[in-house]
């Protein structure tokens, strides 16, 4: 009798292993979404300037032709000028003064327009997605001030030069939105003299490695549920605490971040820009800018996968939803807020818990006159 029970048990275990193997094989046969779909970047700003080894890359919207770039370390002191040249499909301005300092720009265009700009992405070595939330125009004709609030991926790989740059930016507070295990595995390297505060949106990631293995063909719906249930619904009080930090000028400039700087950080940034009156289309543009750095995030993911034994058939393309900041995700987040709470403003005054005075203080601190 005992032998029969053991045989039945072994047969059951073998059957389960075969079913799991067949399921994993079936998953490996599913074609993932294309790279250009998962990592779409929407363009909304008239011009974007980024740092290169020998100068500045100027990326204008279609139809704009930049001619001159003026720059300085303050928006009110643009004391250096450079001609913008066009070669190999790129607009470029030579000259890179004071590489550790933040630069601001005015750019002249062939049609007579002059537009202000600044580095949206700061060139840190150990954080690829450290971005300024300033510079966006609002629906009432104002502009979000540069250099008040930054968003980033995790900061545990900051180099000494990165820490100097963050101090040069005047950052007073780092807000870490990550959970316990993330912080324990990869603690921030906060620069000396910069305050650090943990404000986890969730303690444990509900999309863990084992779940990824068995539902990697449905990671996109899983991430939509993560946004709806865990980040937006359960995380509302945390977002209230985070946004109230911006209402106090003593905390500014500040930076908040999670792991890749797109999900928890992305929702916090979207809410802040909404409070400031930035149009929805522009908020979506800002969200998708994370996709500019998809190749760097994918390189880190490949390195992590090579260090562990991954089951046969697991394709890195099936893990794109981990890194993708697709417009559909943030659009889905806004749709959930509006269908569940009535409007984004109702969400902010309801479960997020912001008072009229908090909202007024945030706008007062961030909106340039």
> For the whole model, what pTM was predicted?
0.88
Q: Which of 119, 137, 168 is the last residue of a domain?
A: 119
135 and 41 in a common domain:
no
Bigger pLDDT: 255 or 19?
A: 255
88 and 148 in a common domain:
no
For 184-206, write each residue's pLDDT tens digit. 999 999 999 999 999 999 987 77
What is the domain-level CATH number for residue 288? 3.90.190.10
3-class SS at 111? Answer: coil
105 and 142 in a common domain:
no
Contact call for residues 344 and 271 (beta carbons, < 8 A): yes
Checking phi first, is residue 40 left (phi over 0); if not, alpha (psi -120 to 50) or beta? beta
- With a cut of 70, say whether residue 36 has pLDDT above it: yes
Into how many domains does the chain fold? Answer: 2
Q: CB 279: neighbour CB atoms within 10 A?
A: 15
Domain extent, residue 212, equals 120-368
For range 344-349, the mean pLDDT: 98
For 251-310, write each residue's pLDDT tens digit. 999 999 999 999 999 999 999 999 999 999 999 999 999 999 999 888 887 777 666 665
323 and 285 in a common domain:
yes
pLDDT over 70, % of the chain: 83
Kindly list the distances between the CA atom of residue 233 and the CA atoms of 166, 325, 344, in Å, as whole numbers in the listed order.
32, 20, 12
Kindly list the distances between the CA atom of residue 44 and the CA atoms of 287, 289, 334, in Å, as whole numbers in the listed order.
11, 10, 19
3-class SS at 76? Answer: coil
Most confidently predicted of 119-123, 209-213, 323-327, 363-367: 363-367
Band (368; pLDDT cuts 50, 70, 90) = confident
Element (H, E) at 213: helix 209-215
346 and 227 in a common domain:
yes
Contacts of 125 (CB under 8 A, 6+ apart): 157, 158, 159, 161, 162
Pairing of strands 195-198, 55-60: unpaired
What is the domain-level CATH number for residue 65? 2.60.40
257 and 114 in a common domain:
no
Bigger pLDDT: 232 or 37?
A: 232
- What gap in Å lies between CA 266 and CA 80, rounded to an integer? 34
220 and 82 in a common domain:
no
312 and 254 in a common domain:
yes
Question: Does the residue 25 lie in any domain?
Answer: no
For 315-341, write each residue's pLDDT tens digit. 777 778 888 999 999 999 999 999 999
Pairing of strands 195-198, 173-176: parallel
- In the numeric block, the tokens 């994370």 are attached to 290
Question: Does the residue 6 lie in any domain?
Answer: no
187 DSSP β-pair partners: none
Q: What is the pLDDT of residue 214?
A: 56
Q: Which of 98, 119, 140 is the last residue of a domain?
A: 119
3-class SS at 3? Answer: helix
Q: Which of 90, 119, 148 is the last residue of a domain?
A: 119
Beta strands in 16-65 (DSSP E): 47-52, 55-60
305 and 330 in a common domain:
yes
- With a cut of 50, say whether residue 26 has pLDDT above it: no
Contact call for residues 124 and 168 (beta carbons, < 8 A): no
pLDDT over 90, % of the chain: 62
Pairing of strands 90-94, 80-87: antiparallel
Question: Does the residue 101 lie in any domain?
Answer: yes
3-class SS at 5? Answer: helix
Burial 45-81 (b: 16+ CB within 10 A, else e): bebbbeeeeebbebebeeebebeebbbbeeeeebebe
> Distance from first CA to last CA of the chain, Å, rounded?
85
For range 74-89, the mean pLDDT: 87
């Amino acid at each position: 009798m005992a032998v029969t029970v053991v045989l039945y048990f072994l047969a059951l275990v073998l059957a389960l292993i075969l079913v799991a193997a067949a399921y994993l094989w079936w998953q490996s046969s599913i074609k993932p979404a294309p790279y250009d779909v998962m990592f779409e970047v929407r363009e909304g700003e008239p011009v974007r300037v980024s740092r290169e080894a020998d100068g500045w890359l100027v990326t204008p919207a279609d139809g704009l032709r930049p001619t001159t770039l003026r720059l300085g370390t303050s928006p009110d002191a643009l004391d250096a000028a450079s001609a913008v040249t066009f070669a190999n499909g790129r607009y470029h301005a030579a000259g890179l003064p004071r590489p550790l300092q933040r630069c601001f720009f005015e750019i002249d265009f062939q049609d007579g327009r002059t537009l202000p700009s600044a580095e949206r992405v700061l060139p840190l070595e150990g954080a690829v997605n450290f971005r300024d939330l300033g510079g966006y125009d609002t629906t009432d004709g104002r502009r979000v001030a540069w250099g008040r609030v930054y968003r980033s991926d995790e900061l545990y790989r900051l180099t000494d030069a990165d820490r100097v740059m963050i101090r040069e930016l005047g950052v007073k507070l780092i807000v870490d939105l990550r959970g316990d295990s993330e912080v324990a595995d990869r603690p921030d390297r906060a620069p000396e003299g910069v305050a650090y505060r943990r404000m986890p949106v969730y303690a444990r990631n509900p999309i863990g490695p084992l779940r990824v293995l068995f539902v990697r063909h449905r990671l996109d719906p899983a991430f939509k549920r993560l946004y709806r249930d865990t980040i937006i619904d359960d995380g509302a009080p945390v977002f209230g605490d985070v946004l109230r930090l911006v209402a106090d000028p003593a905390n500014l400039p500040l930076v908040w971040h999670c792991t890749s700087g797109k999900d928890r950080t992305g929702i916090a940034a979207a809410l802040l820009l909404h409070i400031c009156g930035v149009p929805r289309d522009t908020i979506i543009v800002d969200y998708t800018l994370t996709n500019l750095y998809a190749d760097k995030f994918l390189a880190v993911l490949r390195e992590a996968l090579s260090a562990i034994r991954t089951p046969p058939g697991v394709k890195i393309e099936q893990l794109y939803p981990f890194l993708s900041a697709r417009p559909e995700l943030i659009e889905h987040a806004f749709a959930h807020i509006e269908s569940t709470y009535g409007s984004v403003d109702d969400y902010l005054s309801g479960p997020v818990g912001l008072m009229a005075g908090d909202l007024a203080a945030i706008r007062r601190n961030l909106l340039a006159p």
